[in-house]
Structure 1
Amino acid sequence: MLPNYFDRWDAKGLSGHSKTIFDALDSLVNELARKYFRQHGTDITNSLRDIWSETFASWFTEAKWSKSGFLPAAEEYLETGMTSIASHTLVLPASCFLSPSMPDYKLNPAQYESITRLLMVIPRLLNDIQSYKKEQKEGKTNFVLLHSKENPEADIEDSIAYAREILDRKKKELLEHALTDGFNDFSKPCRHLHLSCVKVFHMFFDSSNRYDSNTEMLQDIQKAFYIPVEVGAPKPLLPHSGSRQRYPTVVASYHFDQRYKNRIIRLAENSVVSHPISGNPYMKMPMAPKLKFCFM
């Protein structure tokens, strides 16, 4: 089985497509590890392998569930599903090459920060809320479907609402961890990369299952790569007429203390003085009104 080869990271005995997949990932991991070693002097090869091994193990677990018809508990499914969505598999290695870099020990699956676990669970919930119909037809497990089965008195909309409630709570936690200092050892660029990845999944699954659609993302792709940004022509500044303006009387009540309670300060009406600018008699602008204060 392919996950076993990734677990021990040894391609001996593999052939065909499995060998191609293993060799491609092995090449990717080695390339990233060499680059990181040149920059930081630390070997992260085994850490990168562990992330991919963990991801393949989760894919294999879900494949076994689907093939055998086994239905795990919703919480057990979510623990596996948040790994199989593989968002952390992309973000954590990329975070190693930001500046400042992510600490290399954060690549250890046993030491994932809360923000990383939030990055993992939010895309899974987004996906499952929008794709439960498709996965039900394909005989796959899904958090919404499992919750509905565990709660027969509730209908599918209740299960969707339950998943959305968890999702909303997790998104608030992610924003707090991403935008506030002191929650973890990640630098601001690392935290923002976590947030950006979640935004991508939000684009895919917020209102529908756009990820599996052949057409719904076309307009977004066009805007991102092909359609030029439209910048409107700047509006010309209108020249000042130079006309004299009158400012109305402004009355305001101010409570200084008990002695002057309800006293009124009156801003006396005054004319605007037209004043030439830089010796140009045609360019005039209003001057601020003179203030006269009187206590009534």
Structure 2
Amino acid sequence: SGKFLLPQAASTVLRLNGAAESNTAVFFNQNFEGTKERIKKMFNKVDLSVSSYDTAWVAMVPSPNSTKDPFFPECVNWLLANQFHDGSWGPKFHPLLIKDALLSTLACILALKRWSVGEEQINKGLHFIESNLASATDEEQQSPVGFNIIFPAMIESAMNFVGEFPQISPFDYLKVDDALKFPFYASLGRLSSRRAIKSYNTESTRILKSSYSCLNIGNEDFLKLAVEDFNICQSIHHKELYHLARWVVENRLDKLKFSRQKQACCYFSAAANLFPPELSDARMSWAKNGVLTTVVDDFTDVGGSEEELVNLIQLIEKWDVNASVDCCSEHVEIIFSAFKNTINEIGVKAFVRQGRSVTSDIIETWLDLLKSGLKEAEWLRNKSVPTMEEYMTNGYISIGIGQIVLPALYFVGHELSEEVVGSSELHELYRLMSTCGRLLNDIQGFKRDSAEGKLNALSLTMIRGNGVVTEEEAINEINSIIKSKRGELLRLVLQETGSIVPRACKDLVWNMSKVLHFFYTKDDGFSANEMMQSVNAVTEEPIILSELQYGNVDVVDQVWRENNLRLLVYEF
């Protein structure tokens, strides 16, 4: 155990006694409601700022009487008169809005070049773009909607349209073209919210295609509301993570030395998208089943024998057994007991939500996983080489994603009939999501699996190529399959006609797909060093409003003292 300093205002995990805990809740609620009321009064009148980006595009419209003249000369004049000293157009300088300034500046250059005016402004604008192009690939920068598509296309247009465009090299263009490391299908809601909050204090500036500001609406109340909401949710997440750690110990899963202890990552994968307080049961179901999936994966890979796996399957099939007698090893007894306790707990909570027992359905999903693991163990033992179809038919189950997602569906606010649960629509959602996960995992785990003598989708693709297909070519082929399956999944999620699966359930499936793409962007998920930074950003590190406003540690400390926000020592 260790000691952590936590601000009282940022976490409700702290075990405060009676009146103190009550007073903290009242403090949060009063501040939160007061902020909401102030915001409501702001919308009597909304006055928006001028957008350089939009003005530039309007300025490019030719007159219907002469294509050599602008239809809106006043817009061209505005561009000439409103360039900043650094050569940019767009928002007032902010270190996290440089992407918007790049986009706006390039649009203004194109507009001025269209009418052959403003040579001095064009040159200054080109210099600004050259000096700040590296920001186009900066993950910390706030991106206008569609930036990774629009900006490279505008650069290409500028290269053709603006003859003297020597400042941007082909190498830089390729950098811009590959700007987003985490596209929409790999973005996690809570991390996106945190980044947005941290860059929010920009004189009421908002970003869509370009930035704009509400001139008569201050953003301090919006920022305060967002920070309060984030920290209240985070305090709940922190508490749930603490209970998850206790659950691991109570079920003796920490005694399984062969198993990775990854409960923080498992919880993060739930809380990163399922963050509202009312989804607590869904998060805990997701996280606990995620931990159990990790245990099963490690058990089948390194920790258990084939005999133990068969014994575990038999125990779950029988269910009502004497674990101390019928388990062939201590490892099997620990895992089976954890399964039984957790599935029964989730089943009881789901019964309240669904009005029917779903325990048997949950048990069946786990049996499917264990049997798929047994199949892979048999392939390895017999040195069998399955066809790609055989491998994927088994592999989308053995990846262990369905065991996390399917039970959580019972807790997102809809009663799910047996018809919905057993529908081909839900199964196809599950299959597509899990297929993407399996293929992403196999690309990143190729070297590890090869070292252990295991086949996966990548090695099977190379084998099928009879030694002609290289590793790089096989990766490209599998990435094409992932892209195709991801597109099919998104279409099914958005489909309304003929759909019987509630949208909230389909969104949950899509959220898991995003988690998978996020986890496997660089490494094999759990092995990525950046992962714990992301976990802490969601569960451990509150956003300090005064830090955003003043940006100075000394000032922050002073404000905290003035508001009597005590730092308490929390025994973890």
User: When the two structures are superposed, what TM-score results if normalisation uses the length of structure 2?
Assistant: 0.38
Q: Is the 8 A contact 1:100 1:187 kept in 2?
A: yes
Q: Do structure 1's residue 20 and structure 2's residue 330 form an aligned pair?
A: no
Deviation of 1:28 after TM superposition, in Å, equals: 1.7
Is 1:224 paired with 2:538?
A: yes
Give the counterpart of 2:385 among 56, 66, 71.
71
Gaps of 5+ in 2: 1-309, 551-572
Distance 1:78 1:230, change over 3 A: farther
* Equivalent residues in 2 for 1:3-18, closer than 5 Å: 3-11=313-321, 13-15=326-328, 16-18=330-332
Secondary structure of 2:524's partner? coil
Q: Distance in 1 between matches of 2:495 and 2:426?
A: 18
User: Is 1:198 matched up with 2:513?
Assistant: yes
Shift of 1:54: 0.6
State the distance in 2 between where 1:172 and 1:229 align: 35
Deviation at 1:8, TM superposition (A): 3.8
Aligned partner (choices 130, 139, 146) of residue 453 of structure 2:
139
CA–CA separation in structure 1 for the residues paired with 2:418 and 2:392? 26
Match of 1:158 in 2: 473
Q: Please give the per-residue CA displacement for 1:10-45, whole angstroms capped at 9, x wherever unaligned.
A: 545224221221121122222222222233321222
- For the residues of structure 2 that align with 1:29 and 1:142, how far apart are their CA atoms? 30
CA deviation string 1:46-84 (max 9, x = no partner): 211111111110111112222332221111111111101
Q: Which has the higher contact order (CA 8 A, sep 6+)?
A: 2
In structure 2, distance between residues paired with 1:9 and 1:71 = 34
Question: Does the 8 A contact of 1:103 with 1:186 survive in 2?
Answer: no
Q: 1:106 to 1:212 in 2, by over 3 A?
A: farther
CA contact (8 A) 2:369 2:397 kept: yes
Partner deviation per Cα, 1:267-291 (whole Å, 9 max, x = no partner):
xxxxxxxxxxxxxxxxxxxxxxxxx
Moved more, 79-88 or 153-162: 153-162
Q: How far apart are the structure 1 equivalents of 2:542 and 2:384?
A: 50
Relative to structure 1, is the Cα distance of residues 167 and 25 closer, same or farther in structure 2, using a 3 angstrom cutoff? same
Distance 1:105 1:52 in 2: 20
Letter paired with 1:3:
I
In 1, Cα distance between equivalents of 2:427 and 2:373: 22
In structure 2, what is the Cα distance between the partners aligned to 1:212 and 1:122?
19
Secondary structure in structure 1 of the residue aligned to 2:432: helix
Distance in structure 1 (CA, Å) of the matches to 2:542 and 2:355: 43
Residues 125 and 102 (structure 1), Cα distance of their counterparts in 2 relative to 1, 3 Å cut: farther
Which whole-Å CA distance do the structure 1 matches of 2:402 and 2:477 have between them? 24
Cα separation, 1, equivalents of 2:499 and 2:424: 15
Tell me how far 1:85 sits from its aligned partner.
Answer: 0.9
1:174 counterpart = 2:489: yes
Residue 40 of structure 1 aligns with which residue? Answer: 354
Instruction: Measure how far apart 1:208 and its partner are.
Output: 2.9
The one-letter amino acid paired with 1:208 is D
Separation in structure 2 between the aligned mates of residue 147 and residue 87 of structure 1, nearest angstrom: 23
> CA, structure 1 residues 172+111, in 2 after alignment: closer, same or farther (shift >3 Å)?
closer
**For 1:1-296, what aligned pairs fall within 5 Å after superposition?**
1=310, 2-11=312-321, 13-15=326-328, 16-108=330-422, 112-152=426-466, 153-182=468-497, 184-213=499-528, 215-229=529-543, 232-233=548-549
Structure-2 separation of matches of 1:80 and 1:148: 19
- Over the aligned positions, Cα root-mean-square deviation in angstroms equals 2.3
Question: How far apart are residue 105 of structure 1 and its match?
Answer: 4.2
Structure 1 residue 5: deviation in Å?
Answer: 2.8
User: Cα 1:59–1:174, aligned 2, differ >3 Å: closer, same or farther?
Assistant: same
Residue in structure 1 matched with residue 39 of structure 2 by the alignment: none
Distance 2:334 2:442 in 1: 30
CA contact (8 A) 1:128 1:143 kept: yes
Distance in 2 of aligned mates of 1:218 and 1:28:
26
Larger radius of gyration: 1
2: CA distance, partners of 1:114 / 1:106? 12
Q: What code does the residue aligned with 2:496 have?
A: D
Deviation, structure 1 residue 209: 2.3
- Cα distance in 1 for partners of 2:356, 2:426 equals 19
SS at match of 2:527: coil
Give the aligned residue type for 2:416. M
The residue type paired with residue 74 of structure 1 is M
Give 1:108 deviation, angstroms.
4.4
The 1:72–1:8 alpha-carbon spacing in structure 2 relative to 1, beyond 3 Å, is farther
User: Offset of 1:145 from its aligned partner?
Assistant: 0.3
Aligned residue in 1 for 2:106: none
C-alpha distance in 2 between matches for 1:35 and 1:129: 37
TM-score by length of 1: 0.71
**If each structure's helix is expressed as a fraction of its own residues, which one has the higher value?**
2
In structure 1, runs of 5+ residues without a counterpart are: 235-296
Confirm or deny: 8 A CA contact 1:44 1:104 kept in the other structure.
no
Deviation of 1:112 after TM superposition, in Å, equals 4.4
Query: Does the aligned pair in 1 maintain the 2:425–2:501 contact within 8 Å?
Result: no
Aligned sequence identity (%): 27
8 Å Cα contact 1:148/1:155 also seen in 2: yes
For the residues of structure 1 that align with 2:343 and 2:361, how far apart are their CA atoms?
A: 10
